Amino acid sequence: MAPRRIAHAVTAVVLILTLAAPFPVWSGAASLGTARGVRSVEWSADGGKSWLPLGSRALPVLDGTEVRASSGGALLDLTDGSRLNLLPFSSLRVRETGATTEVSLLYGRVTFRLPAQTRIELRTGSARLVPVRKQAMAGEAFVGTDATVGLRMTEGTLQVEELSGAKRTMLASLEPVFLPKRPAVSGPLFASEATAIAPPAGAKGVFSPAGESFGYLQPDGQFVVQPGYTSDLTQPFPAKLLQLAMAKVPDKDRSDATPLFDVNGGYVGYLSGPVFYAQAQIAQAVGVGGPGAGGGVNLYAVGGGLLSPRHDHAKSAVRKAVAINIRRP
């Protein structure tokens, strides 16, 4: 095993064994930066084989680090001055390739700010996003469950190289780029395009099993993610209620499912990865597929920054939301 891989393995073991320490100690493996989070977000140093809660602690970003967020998010500050803001229900992986630091957005949404001489190169399953290193760069990228990629810059330019299909090369700046094409949905697709969204009349607050405010369910069945939309509940939902809700989740999703409830404990559906499945009666009422209807889903996206240098709490930092409807292939 190469010395780098040995050091990396030792680092992972040390971090796992010292989880109780506020700042874990590592040796040998070079740190590419630090990651910290709020709410439900996890960190892995071994390619996703084992996961640790990230919480508000600062853990190193190493070669092979993965971060996945459910109701929370993570801020990655890298040694070259780059900053990545992983939004809720998203996941990314970091790899050191020698000349560059490759950050792969596996699903969900990330905002970023990169210095002119950044070492970061962003990737998705279908595209390579290469910095045009003439000035600082800032923007937002998303990957949908159907592998649709969207990129919009608020500053600077990235070169988008399509890895399959037509293998096009495009420049993304203020005019967004979509692969393979723009999603056929109404409303804003990027947080930078969104203004504060006023919930419609009849919107229903949605909560996690722990009683955390996740956002709201619109009358049309669309789930809009907006942590802090309302106050968190004072206590979690009863264990028996969670068991009854999980019994309604299909076997294929049960290991990764998070049931969601209204304020009275009514089951409204579940999350699996970046996808929300409406409870059967709700799905039938609004005319979308539920868990047992061929995989029809409501896919949401989140707008606004979850973390910032001065504000770490989701309630005070997440104020905008974007909603998209897509079906899983």
How many Cβ atoms from other residues are within 10 Å of residue 26's Cβ? 19
pTM: 0.69
The residue among 280, 298, 300, 281 whose CA lies nearest residue 290 is 280
Contacts of residue 248, Cβ cutoff 8 Å, sequence gap at least 6: 267, 270, 279, 280, 291
Burial of 110 per CB tally in 10 Å (0-12, 13-18, 19+)? buried
Domain 3-182 has CATH 2.60.120.1440: yes
Name the strand (E) or helix (H) holding 270.
Answer: strand 267-272
Please report, in angstroms and rounded to a whole number, the separation of the first and last CA atoms in the chain. 39
Calculate the alpha carbon distances from 221 to 61, 66, 215, 261, 294 in Å: 38, 32, 13, 14, 17
Q: Are 81 and 47 in contact (CB under 8 A)?
A: no
pLDDT per position in the chain (329 positions), as tens? 455 444 444 444 444 444 434 444 444 468 899 999 877 789 998 888 888 988 778 899 999 999 998 777 899 999 999 999 998 888 999 999 888 999 999 988 899 999 999 999 999 999 999 999 999 999 999 987 678 899 999 999 999 999 988 889 999 988 899 998 887 766 667 766 655 567 778 888 999 898 988 888 888 777 777 777 888 899 999 999 999 999 988 888 787 788 999 999 999 988 776 677 887 644 454 444 444 443 434 344 444 333 333 233 333 333 344 443 333 33
Burial of 231 per CB tally in 10 Å (0-12, 13-18, 19+)? exposed
The residue among 292, 221, 289, 290 whose CA lies nearest residue 251 is 292
Burial of 134 per CB tally in 10 Å (0-12, 13-18, 19+)? exposed
How many Cβ atoms from other residues are within 10 Å of residue 239's Cβ? 9
For the chain, domain boundaries? 3-182, 204-323
> HSE on the CB side for 87, CA within 13 Å?
29
Q: Are 128 and 163 in contact (CB under 8 A)?
A: yes
Q: Are strands 158-162 and 127-131 parallel, antiparallel or unpaired?
A: antiparallel
- What local confidence, expressed as pLDDT, does residue 186 receive? 60
- What local confidence, expressed as pLDDT, does residue 13 receive? 42
Cα four-point dihedral sign 254, 255, 256, 261: positive
